A and B are shown apart, each in its own frame.
Chain A
Amino acid sequence: MQLFYTPYHSGIMKNLKYLFVGIVFGLALTKGEAISWFRMQEMFHFQGFHMYGIFMTAVPIGAIAILLIRKLNIHTFNGEAIDIPKKPYHHGIILGGLIFGFGWALTGACPGPLYAQVGAGYGVTLITLISAVAGTWVYAKLQPRLP
């Protein structure tokens, strides 16, 4: 099933729509204080509902939308089939997850909020972002030797 038809653009024009979705997403992250270091400490100490409220509204809305897309076999606006590949398990899900959790608590940010923190004018978080790129590189280098 195809909901709408939009002409297929190429290059920058094709990607501009993602910039727009990113702006809305980034604005919601920022105004929702999901990029706030303070809110992360509150969340990890179970002292406030705010962050849990965000997860508990975002996930069911995403889940209902995906359910509808699957049940009604909805295609993209360009008529392309939508596929959602399975995420296979490996031990890095837990080990890497624990490591990332540490970084999350220290910086108050996940990768998405990191970009938003830079945009919000916390210039020094650019170093955090570059450090995150370096961390990814080192993981890639060590990958063959990790469980």
Chain B
Amino acid sequence: MDFLYKPWPWYVAGPIIGLTVPSLLLLGNKRLGISSTLRQFCAAWYPANIPLLKYDWKKDSWNLYFVGGILIGGFIGGGLFENPNATELSQNTINDLRSLGLANFHGLLPHELFTWSNLLTWQGFFLMIAGGFMIGFGTRYARGCTSGHGIFGLSSLQWTSLVAIISFFIGGIVCSYFILPIILAS
């Protein structure tokens, strides 16, 4: 059971993630993509006559089972068999984050930041509420996320997906270098 507690190296996790692409294609001609489920929730809960949300979301319900599985996978890997040790980050990252005031590198998210009590501070607002909003807005605008463009799109050699993933990274790099330090200092 030790392998379930320990984090997996990239050469174990990466190939499994890659094999998801043919698995979904062979099981039912399904294309890996997760941001579409956010649209499905919108269509199911409050379509409000918006053209993009007026479609038969039930037809794509396989996707909801898939993300339900991701949730269970997260529970098994991050809850039931949580890594008891701190994340083995590069020393540079640890130093950088320490200088921004973080001390606890255990778990998958900083326990100092992602808490209910922090949610209604400006810091928590930007990290969780604004951050989440930009995930939903941006992925729909870009017609896909890291799985749909980054894994599936690149695997099927689509240049649009290469443009998308480069844009994701530019946004992430700018935010991580320049915006995040300001938010963490507040």
> Residues of A at under 8 Å CB distance from B?
3, 14-45, 47-63, 65-66, 69, 74, 76-78, 80-90, 92-112, 114-125, 127-141, 143-144, 146
Contacts and interface: CB of A to CB of B under 8 A. Distances in A.
8 contacts: A35-B74, A47-B92, A61-B18, A102-B134, A119-B74, A121-B79, A124-B115, A141-B50
A98 B6 CA distance: 33
A41 B180 contact: yes
Interface in B109-152: 109-110, 114-116, 118-119, 126-147, 149-152
Interface of B: 4, 6-31, 34-35, 37-39, 41-42, 45-46, 48, 50-53, 61-63, 65-79, 82, 87, 89-90, 92-93, 96-97, 105, 107-110, 114-116, 118-119, 126-147, 149-161, 163-177, 179-180, 183
Nearest 7 interchain pairs by C-beta:
A101-B171, A22-B69, A26-B73, A32-B13, A96-B141, A120-B78, A97-B167
> What does DSSP make chain A's interface, helix, strand, loop or mixed?
helix
A133 B177 contact: no
A98 B130 CA distance: 14
Contact of B151 (A15, A21, A31, A62): A62
A44 B134 contact: no
Given A29-B74, A102-B171, A122 B108 contact: yes
Given A45-B96, A100-B142, A54 B147 contact: no
